[in-house]
Structure 1
Amino acid sequence: MTEKNTVRVAVIDMNKGVANQGMRGILSILEAYRKSTGIALEYEVFDLRLKGEIPSPDYDIYISSGGPGSPYDGEKEQWQQDFFALLDAIEAHNRLEDVSKKHVFLICHSFQMACRKYKVGQVIRRRSTAFGIFPVFLTEEGESVFKGLPNPFYTVDSRDWQVINPEDLEFSNSEAQVLALEKERPHVDLERCVMAVQFTEEIIGTQFHPEADAEGMKMYLLMEDKKAAIIANHGEQKYMDMLQSLDDPRKIQLTQQHILPNFLKEAILALQEA
């Protein structure tokens, strides 16, 4: 924190210029948190994939968004090198003694990239797109930012890629902990994909979208092209079920009210204690 006790948040936009509700969701949570707590919180947005903007390592908190395309898209790109270098710099800082720790939250595309970087499981393409409101199941390690949520809780999931770990080989070589998994599908011979990981004590990520709110999701679903695509790919009943789920306060509304606010609370408390 600065001398004026201002909390500085860097928001990394991974959307590559594609219109989305995710950034609006992240920024609205930051605004609501600032208003409800009275904490002097400032944030700045960095458009990484489209403009190559990368925050310096001197922010207090980092939130990196989801985005379109493959988590391997940046393999030979400068923006991926910059992103991974930033995570390295944050880790190096956090290993120092007597410093305020920097906290990071990684969402969807950013989460998949982090799983590649930290060699957590296998990042592979799904057989079909996952899109909808689904239950997520916490593991024994899964508390942290999930305090106040039931098990399972419900969230928005939108992805063509997934992280799986068929033989627990990768996780054994990392300090990472799996915090949540997708639902069991006994009738399908496929691994349960990883839905949340604690990469280090200060770096956490989710496959799903904790920033998604009912208002933004409804706006998205009511767009004619999105409606047509969902019905074509998943059927009209799935579309109607999704709309109905948005009105249930026990589902994504509850998730949106807990996960990122819990993360901010933990990160700011650590800054204050330091």
Structure 2
Amino acid sequence: MFNLSGKVAVVTGGGSGIGRATAKLFAKQGAKCHILDLSAEQGAHVVGEIAAEGGVAISHAVDVSNQAAINEVIASIGKIDILVNNAGVAHVGKADTTSEEDFDRVFRINVKGVYNCLHAIIPVMSQNGGGVILNLSSIGAVVGIADRFAYSMSKGAVQAMTLSVARDYLAENIRCNCICPARVHTPFVDGFIAKNYPGQEKEIFEKLSKSQPIGRMGTVDEIATLILYLCADESSFITGCDYHIDGGFIKLNN
């Protein structure tokens, strides 16, 4: 099951965290993975990990918010069967404490970055008879989370884009879904806590972990497994959906 042999996948933000876990799992299942990441070093490292496990991957150092650069990379790849829009940034702040600069940065990466990849890759999929797109949204798009104004805005936009793409490209055999993770333990989370809560790392990590009713954060491998299912042929009847993978955060928090 979940065999991706012969498939070509593009994973943005594939140099670390959820993107890294997804690229490695896709390659293990037989896909040729193109990793798009701002960091050439991190992308190359994941390519090396995949090669060591017998998989095939290629790294492209690129900023997803730069449309011309994305267009150039996608044109060099050719056939694409799967797109995982994972690249993104977080931000702490309310509407009146978020600067214009920070708002624009979150929008540019989390919203325009997704658009840029959709804009470049959908025509490729259409020409090749179809494909699958998986966007990374967040529980922040579904429920109110304190001090996450710009981030929640961006993930709400990702959900809206998911629905539009799913509806608009049914005839081209392109499926599009998104997932909404709660907190997932990644190096990004550790760095985020260290930067915003210096000296309180252990306390904040425990607090964030316990905000999920299940009592812990998710793992990158758990997220990657759901992504694999939604991008494999076994989920061919699923499009226009958002999946909550949140340890009970949305339904079980009182």
TM-score, with structure 1 as normaliser: 0.44
- Structure number with the higher strand fraction is 1
- Structure number with the higher helix fraction is 2
TM-score, with structure 2 as normaliser: 0.47
